[in-house]
Structure 1
Amino acid sequence: MINLSTLSRIATGNTAEVFAFEDSKVLKVYFPGYPEDEAENEAAKALFAYQQGLPTPKVIDVLEVESRQALILERCLGPSLDSYLLKHPNDIVPMGELFAGLHADVHRCQAQPLDTTSQRLALKIQRSNIAEPLKLKAINQLNLQALDSRLCHGDFHPANVLLSSNGPVIIDWVDATQGLPISDVARTVLLISTSQIAGSHAEQQAYQLKKQQFLAAYQQHYHQLCSTNNHQLSTWTPIVAAGRLSEKLPVASAAQTLEIAQQLV
């Protein structure tokens, strides 16, 4: 029987905490309150990504630990991309391009077995607390967008990329869907652009500048790789923002996200 109090916690996210486990594994344990098939769902999606040849940890087991859902995964040693950039700010441009290349690799995969991005996003918009006219506008705009069946990560941001000695590794596939890749790019841009840090005014200003530099490198390189453009991106961003408002967000991030969603009106 696994006793969490005897394990070393190595990361804590919004949905789960991660512990070092045995010699070369990690134990991802979900917080209470999520659907009872959440771990099975993530395991299936992570396995699918692994089978496409994408750099992602191998799923070893799905289990219950102290009445909580859990996964055992292959351990990939290395800092997350966001923590790396805090220590190596001069690498923002090449790391933004690396990030774009990884995202493009994800989007080259077909993903017909998965739920669609549009279905998932429509449900999130419906669950959000935004005004009904804005909600209706977001749904209508979503229904006008083209469909596709390519793999979308759904939560692709620098904290979900690990820089291992064998190369970058993509983690956290629970939100993966099949859809139009540019919608996934819009989600990434939204996540990064509305992210916040605690600190002095000067530190926050420096962080904003670094975000802009990273996003510029990411977007430019992704557009080059995938023949997309900022007009396509700007069409999706407010729709994705409307869905994002169904999530628990810090006050400042929520306000910024609402401003973006209101571009639909």
Structure 2
Amino acid sequence: MTALLASGRDADVYAIDERRVLRRYRRGGDVTAEAAIMRYVSDHGYPVPRVYEADGADLVLERLDGPTMLRALGDGTLDLRSGATVLADLLERLHKVRVRAATDPGTRILHLDLHPENVVMTEGGPVVIDWRNSTEGPPELDVAMSALLIATVAVMPAHPFSEQAEEFLETLLGCTRDNPLSQLEAAARRRVADPNVTGEEKAHLHEAKILVTTFARTHH
């Protein structure tokens, strides 16, 4: 490790060399399942960083070159409508990946944390990072979670992306095929139970649900 590149809510990312980074979870844990899902979706053509090693709380991943979608939106190199369309496409592409062993044909692989900070805009196209919350379930839950994350930003006036988030959300829900309303309460319960969600975010959850409901009813 040579330098700390980034710190998220529960993990730090360090440079190893020009082609690899180390993602280390601060509270420990086992990255085996996360690495397995990343490798699986990659084998099916979905854009994720290459996994080199997975051991304990450490993942050695491909080092990506490019800004996050959030940064690209902020500096104007990506407009809101294009960004929302890209995110909707990433959700739909993920939900087309066949689940390894599911008895319910409606079950899909879910990211459950897919928002502009977890998409890196590389020269080769957008790449989805941070698969810690990934699981299997109904695709509507994934859309509901993404919508709720973005709506929470929209209803928090102090957030630097607050003013743009509402337009981003409306465009996103206008592009998604799956209606998030059937899974909105389930997504909200996951947010409440998540130790990485701040008290302020939880306090704005009801407002965020109303905003998602308004746009979802308009477009679905």
- What TM-score range do you get, normalising by the shorter chain? 0.7 to 0.9
Of 100, 113, 125, 1:112 maps to 100
The one-letter amino acid of 2:180's match is: L
Change in CA separation of 1:162 and 1:261 when aligned onto 2, cut-off 3 Å? closer
Match of 1:84 in 2: 72
Of 240, 243, 252, 2:200 maps to 252
The one-letter amino acid of 1:72's match is: V
Match of 2:131 in 1: 173
Flag the structure with larger Rg: 1
Residue 95 of structure 1: how far off its partner (Å) = 1.1
Q: For residues 90 and 149 of structure 1, what CA distance do their matches in structure 2 show?
A: 32
Q: Is residue 211 from structure 1 mapped to residue 159 from structure 2 by the alignment? A: no
Q: Is residue 43 from structure 1 mapped to residue 35 from structure 2 by the alignment? A: yes
Change in CA separation of 1:80 and 1:26 when aligned onto 2, cut-off 3 Å? same
Q: For residues 101 and 132 of structure 2, what CA distance do their matches in structure 1 show?
A: 14
Structure 1 window deviating more from structure 2 (80-89 vs 70-79): it is: 80-89
Match of 1:59 in 2: 51
The count of corresponding residues between Structure 1 and Structure 2 is 209
Change in CA separation of 1:168 and 1:261 when aligned onto 2, cut-off 3 Å? closer
The one-letter amino acid of 2:6's match is: A
Match of 1:103 in 2: 91
Residue 234 of structure 1: how far off its partner (Å) = 2.2
Q: Is residue 74 from structure 1 mapped to residue 62 from structure 2 by the alignment? A: yes
CA contact (8 A) 2:13 2:22 kept: yes
Residue 90 of structure 1: how far off its partner (Å) = 6.8
Q: For residues 174 and 90 of structure 1, what CA distance do their matches in structure 2 show?
A: 26
Match of 1:220 in 2: 174
Q: For residues 150 and 114 of structure 2, what CA distance do their matches in structure 1 show?
A: 9
Secondary structure in structure 1 of the residue aligned to 2:79: helix
TM-score by length of 1: 0.71
How much identity, in percent, do the aligned residues show?
Answer: 27
- Provide Cα deviations, 1:191-225, integer angstroms capped at 9, x if missing partner: 11113799xx6x65x73331011111111112xxx
Change in CA separation of 1:90 and 1:173 when aligned onto 2, cut-off 3 Å? closer
Moved segments of 4+, more than 4 Å: 258-262
Contiguous gaps of at least 5 residues in structure 1: 117-145
CA contact (8 A) 2:154 2:163 kept: no
Of 19, 22, 26, 1:31 maps to 26
Match of 2:3 in 1: 8
Match of 1:148 in 2: 106
Q: For residues 190 and 129 of structure 2, what CA distance do their matches in structure 1 show?
A: 22
The one-letter amino acid of 1:88's match is: G
Of 144, 147, 157, 1:186 maps to 144
Please identify which structure carries the higher helix content: 1
Contiguous gaps of at least 5 residues in structure 2: 211-220
